Amino acid sequence: MRNRLTMLLLAFALFIVPSNAYASVNAWNDAEPAFITGLTILSVITLILFIYLMIRDNG
């Protein structure tokens, strides 16, 4: 499980870091679409994981 999570995070890093080089400092309008998409996917996965762990740990 840990190895899969490491590979998933590595894939996200390889996906986000190069596109981050094209993003402006203060302008989301100029940001690379892959950067925004990567952050959105990561945020949704984090939210779902958080909710799942909170429900699972409740009872």
- pLDDT tens digits, residue range 4-46? 888 887 887 777 666 555 555 556 666 677 777 888 888 899 9
What pLDDT does 15 receive? 74
- Name, in order, each residue with C-beta under 8 angstroms of 22's C-beta and a sequence gap of 6 or more: 31, 32, 35
Domain count, the chain: 1
What pLDDT does 29 receive? 64
Helices (H), 1-59: 2-20, 33-58
Handedness of CA 27, 32, 37, 38 (dihedral sign): negative
Query: Average pLDDT in the 1-5 region?
Result: 74
59/49: higher pLDDT? 49
What pLDDT does 30 receive? 64
DSSP state of 30: G
Query: Whole-prediction pTM value?
Result: 0.47
Q: Give me the domain span that covers residue 26.
A: 1-58
